[in-house]
Chain A
Amino acid sequence: MSQEKTESTENNQITLKVVDPQGGETVFRIRKTTKFTKLFKVYCERKGYQIGSIKFTFDGILIDEDQTPDELDMEDEDIIEAHLRQVGGF
């Protein structure tokens, strides 16, 4: 029983990289069914940003907080990019 449980958890979990605009990387392990809000909160607390000021993209697509990695068809060792908020007029 114990082996089956671990296997099932391993199947559900995914490792994701989050890349800064400067190039730094941080690795997260997440279940496929959990929402991204947890990941974003943890990342922003660690880096010291406000939650609204950073936006995440996956292969050129903006990610919403309510979405899960299962909905976006994510796989192991996929890369998520973090971007700062852009305000411009010159």
Chain B
Amino acid sequence: MKSDHFLQFVLLLSGYPIKINKKNFENLRETFVLMINRKRSFNCFIEGNQKDFYQKNHYKYTTKNKNIFATQITNDLFEKKQLKRRFQTQKKHFPRQNVFCEEENDFRKNTKSHFALERLLINNEKKDVKNYKTFFSIKPEYISLQIPFCSYYISPLMITNLKYNKQKKNFFWLSFELNDQKKKKKRINFNIKFKHKKNSQVMNLEDILCRYRKNSHTKKKRKLNIMNEMETEKEKAKQKQKEKETEKQIKKQSNKKKQHLLPNRKSNEIPCNKKDHSKTKKKKKQHKRFHQEKRKKNDREKVNVKKKQQIIVISDNEKEIHNTLNPPNTKSFFNRFCKETISLNWNFNWGFGKEVKVLTRKGKEEERKKKQKKKEKEKEKEKIRKKKKKKKKKKKKNNNFVFKNPIRFPIDLNERKKIGTVSVQYQDIKTLKKNHCISDSIINFYLKYLYLTKLKEKEKLKIHFFNTFFSTSLKNYINKEKDCLRFFNKRGLESKDFWVIPIFQRSHWFLIIVCFPSKISNLKILIFDSIRGFEKNEIIINLIKFIQILFYNPNQNQNKNQNHIQNHKQKHKQKQNQKHKKNQNQNQNPNWSLMKQIVSKRKIIYCDVPQQENDVDCGVFVLKFVDHFCKNIQSLNLLKQKIHFKEKDFFFTNPQLFNVKQIPKKRKQILNLLRKINLKFVKQNEKIKLNYK
């Protein structure tokens, strides 16, 4: 497997827009098959500017300046060790590669998908170091269970713990709690490095976390606030003592000592001093706020006057401390981090590129005002909602379902013999709600509804709608030719030019329409899929075999073919020769002759159709495609046999055939249809009961 193909595959799974060509498509399909067959987990990491990914019309995933990488990691321990070695060797080449996250073995015991975050900074440029992303490693089995990457989304709300990593300097353990779709909590640890910067703001980490937890964890926030206040009080007491001491010292010490200090600083580290001025001023502003809130207005003025004097003194002292701390010792650094305020700059982005906002005082006030406005608006909205609900309830009482018996369609008994009956149960109607997968009986119901109501009688003779169960029982038909032919003769498939076949494969719905199966010159197989790159080879091969047994079988249907040829001889001499050649080919390789012709002349068309954004809506897409097919038959007069399908002119090549937002409407439409039919059904039963009495 090449790394490029694997990367494209991962990008496609994770929802990035990628252009798919014919070359790409084959490679993607191969990788998909390989991943499923290997049953291995894989990690990937992607690096580059976020803007390129999130801009809508930007399809490129590699550029010269930015690198994107993907790695594959297995569950076997032996191979892991090898990979670690490989990373270590990479470090030598790229010295700026600083962040490296590690796995934990405990997750695997609990869940099938182990979350291993891996991040590598390989770019040498400073600008690109800011923006990088992480992906979670998920087993290929788990992807097939319809869980996308996006559901595992880290935000600062989920932070539970922060610890200092003693082995590596400047690294911290961060642990998260993730909420699954099943609402199970999982924890994740990984390392993060914090960096200093010149123009950085001074904040407590706990204060930052408090702001993000306001919505979710109200209790914790109160505790933390109290803790902060307690700490600040203690600090003030200490500071006052220090200040007194320093004041005394300064008074005692002459100006000479100050002169000694200044040149030392300049010689050691000039930029560090500049930092400290900015830091210390902002710290003290924070300390002031805590005082101001507590004390009354009368006391405030006095305090301010006193503090302004104190500040100048403290700043001189702390510079010395900073000088001693460069380079910082681990213990002192940790203590400062936990107890005092430290200048932190959040160089990393959380999860999928949402930056952490560090708020200033003005920002706080603005947020409060916004929240007050929001609350007022919500109250008004709630009042309106309540009024609407009352109205809705009155309406709902009239339209309620009566689900004592399952709905049966069609209602006429004569039509039931021809088409068959669908019984829609309460289980199936549940699937029409939002975010539910659609069941077979609703698709069967809607296809039959279209067949009976939307099509004219001429069209009914030419079009045949298959069941959803045809795709599963196709394998059995191919093995037994008797069943095949009986099915063929009973339903009159010979005279029908269009076969509409909804197909169910590996819990995915898609649609195949076979046009003119009886004539090779016009035969086309159209495939409508709302997810490109899904495997279809098995079904297409089976379907071609099915067609071959019906129409082109040399052993049993020779007489039929000959009769056809005799009729056509007088009219068209060219067709004759073609069919003779085909018969000769079939005698040589009866199984593969038709396959070759179909594949060589490009009779399988993958239509460009709108793609789904959910993991759920593929069943509704199939119904939508059939809807458009029925409309376009009337408009384009496709029933004439001599239509040439040019790819440009064909109506299904629009990728913007319909808007994706119409699909929840479609679900409601079908529900309303079922409601009407249910009412008819109930009335009929009542009539029958009355007649019996």
Contact = CB atoms under 8 A, between A and B. Distances in A.
B490 interface: yes
A55 B421 CA distance: 11
Interface stretch (A7-15, A27-35, A41-49, A63-71): A63-71
Interface string B644-678: 00000000000000000000000000000000000
A13 to B, nearest CB: 22
B509 A64 contact: no
B631 interface: no
Contacts, number: 94
A63 B421 CA distance: 6
Contact of A59 (B438, B486, B614): B486
Contact of B509 (A60, A67, A83, A89): A89
Contacts of A60: 420, 466-467, 470, 487, 490-491
A40 to B, nearest CB: 11
B467 A57 contact: yes
Given A88-B437, A90-B506, A65 B472 contact: no
A85 B416 contact: no
B618 interface: yes
B146 interface: yes
Contacts of A85: 439-440
B502 to A, nearest CB: 10
B61 to A, nearest CB: 24
A88 B616 CA distance: 8
Interface string A47-85: 000001001010111111101000110000001010101
B619 A88 contact: yes
A88 B350 CA distance: 34
B381 to A, nearest CB: 32
Contact of A72 (B417, B438, B470, B506): B417
- Among A23, A79, A86, A89, chain B packs the most CB atoms within 10 A around the CB of A89
A59 B490 contact: yes
B472 A61 contact: no
B476 A62 contact: no
A59 B485 CA distance: 10
Contact of B416 (A57, A64, A87): A64
A56 B146 CA distance: 29
Interface of A: 19, 21, 23, 52, 55, 57, 59-65, 67, 71-72, 79, 81, 83, 85-90
Interface of B: 146, 408, 416-417, 419-423, 425, 427, 431, 436-441, 444, 466-470, 472-473, 476, 483, 486-487, 490-491, 504, 506-509, 531, 614-619
Nearest to B145: A90
6 contacts: A83-B469, A85-B439, A87-B440, A89-B615, A90-B531, A90-B618
A60 to B, nearest CB: 6
Contact of A65 (B423, B437, B491): B423
A88 B504 contact: yes
Contact of B421 (A19, A59, A62, A90): A62
Contacts of A71: 417
B603 to A, nearest CB: 24
A90 B444 CA distance: 19
B420 A61 contact: yes
B387 to A, nearest CB: 36
B245 to A, nearest CB: 71
Contacts of B618: 88-90
A90 B468 contact: no
A61 B447 CA distance: 13
Nearest to A19: B476
A6 to B, nearest CB: 30
Nearest to A21: B472
A56 B493 CA distance: 21
Given A21-B473, A85-B440, A88-B438, 8 more contacts: A52-B427, A57-B469, A61-B420, A81-B476, A83-B473, A87-B507, A88-B508, A90-B508
Contacts of A19: 476
A90 B507 contact: yes
B425 A63 contact: no
A71 B420 CA distance: 11
Nearest to A84: B472
Nearest to A79: B483
A67 B416 CA distance: 9
Contact of B437 (A23, A52, A55, A87): A87
A21 B471 CA distance: 11
A85 B439 CA distance: 7
Nearest to B438: A89
A87 B431 CA distance: 9
B422 A62 contact: yes
A15 B135 CA distance: 59
Contacts of B468: 86
Contacts of B419: 61
B142 to A, nearest CB: 13
Contacts of B438: 87-89
Nearest to B491: A60
- Among A61, A64, A72, A86, chain B packs the most CB atoms within 10 A around the CB of A86
Contacts of B476: 19, 23, 81
Contacts of B466: 60
Contacts of B441: 55
A87 B439 contact: yes
3 smallest beta-carbon distances between A and B, as pairs: A89-B437, A61-B420, A64-B421
A61 B466 CA distance: 9
